[in-house]
């Protein structure tokens, strides 16, 4: 463990499981806050806004969530806002994602029917009310992706039929990690990504060039973690956030 300046915390399996805060998670964030280190809560959920996630974190007693949550849907909307300022976006997803796109200063179009003006981008999020008509409409363009198995399946259908590659924003793509570092104003060398999944968290962290730590309170067993290779192999493995906190404190005091 080095002395990191910023920590990107995956939520499910790292900070909480269901309505239960995991051991050491709250104490870790309190220590980081008290010592001037930066923390960002990362959610790969493409449907929820940072405020939705922040409400849950506040309810669970996690320190000061407001303003330091990044979700995949929000990151995708922000990315589109940067690339097409004031542009037109067809959201192949739920209304909550449309709201995030509008909050990024973009115009949402084509919800009920396609008019003459072609959007600048299609943003794909998980949409359980997806219809053939809406899928057909989206096929008139390239696209962005939120993530989630359901989202990936929709994006892959569009890729297959259009021969245009989707740009993925959520983990395991690095875009959400890069957006998180921009929000905190930190470099990859200063950043530790903490997650519970090899295929999403650790792979995404490596793609973004940050150091990764795996905690064993979620998706991954100790045996699976020890057997991981290549981009799936975390630099550090801890039983839980309590152990990670002890290591971080030891590194901080040299
Ligand atoms: Mg997780």
Which tens digits make up the pLDDT trace of 37-46? Answer: 999 999 988 7
Nearest one of 51, 42, 34, 55 to 7, comparing CA atoms: 42
Distance from residue 150's CA to the centre of ligand 1 (Å): 17
Q: Domain limits of the chain?
A: 6-44+171-252, 73-168
Q: Average the pLDDT over each of 27-36, 94-103, 127-136, 152-161 and give the range with the smallest value.
A: 127-136
Do 73-168 and 6-44+171-252 have the same topology in CATH?
yes
pLDDT, one tens digit per residue, over 22-42 is 999 999 999 999 999 999 999
Distance of alpha carbon 250 from alpha carbon 232, whole angstroms: 26
Q: How much is the pLDDT for 137?
A: 81
Residue 33 annotated as catalytic: no
pLDDT, one tens digit per residue, over 198-221 is 999 999 999 999 999 999 999 999
Options 3, 10, 115, 199, the catalytic residue: 10
Distance from residue 11's CA to the centre of ligand 1 (Å): 6
Distance of alpha carbon 142 from alpha carbon 209, whole angstroms: 27
CATH architecture for the domain at 6-44+171-252: 3-Layer(aba) Sandwich (3.40)
Question: CATH 3.40.50.1000: does it fit domain 73-168?
Answer: yes
In this structure, what is the dihedral angle of CA atoms 236, 242, 248, 250, given to the nearest 10 degrees?
-110
Query: Which chain residues have CB less than 5 Å from ligand 1, an ion?
Result: 10, 12-13, 196
């Amino acid at each position: 463990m080095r002395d990191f300046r910023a920590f990107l915390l995956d939520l499910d399996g790292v900070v909480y499981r269901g309505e239960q805060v995991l051991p050491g998670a709250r104490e870790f964030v309190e220590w980081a806050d008290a010592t001037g280190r930066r923390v960002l809560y990362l959610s790969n959920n493409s449907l929820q806004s940072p405020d939705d996630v922040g409400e849950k974190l506040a309810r669970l007693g996690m320190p000061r969530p407001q303003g330091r949550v990044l979700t995949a849907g929000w990151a995708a909307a922000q990315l589109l806002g940067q690339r097409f300022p004031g542009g037109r976006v067809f959201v192949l997803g739920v209304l909550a994602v449309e709201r995030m796109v509008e909050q990024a200063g973009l115009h949402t179009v084509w919800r009920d029917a396609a008019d003459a003006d072609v959007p600048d981008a299609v943003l794909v999020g998980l949409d359980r009310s997806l219809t053939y008509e809406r899928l057909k409409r989206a096929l008139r363009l390239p696209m962005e992706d939120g993530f989630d198995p359901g989202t990936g399946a929709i994006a892959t259908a569009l890729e297959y039929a259009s021969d245009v590659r989707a740009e993925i924003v959520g983990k395991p793509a690095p875009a959400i990690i890069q957006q998180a570092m921009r929000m905190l104003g930190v470099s990859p060398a200063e950043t530790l990504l903490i997650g519970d999944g090899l295929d999403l968290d650790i792979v995404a962290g490596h793609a973004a060039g940050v150091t990764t730590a795996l905690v064993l309170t979620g998706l991954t067993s100790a045996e699976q973690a020890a057997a991981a290779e290549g981009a799936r192999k975390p630099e550090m493995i801890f039983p839980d956030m309590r152990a990670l906190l002890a290591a971080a404190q030891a590194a901080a005091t040299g």
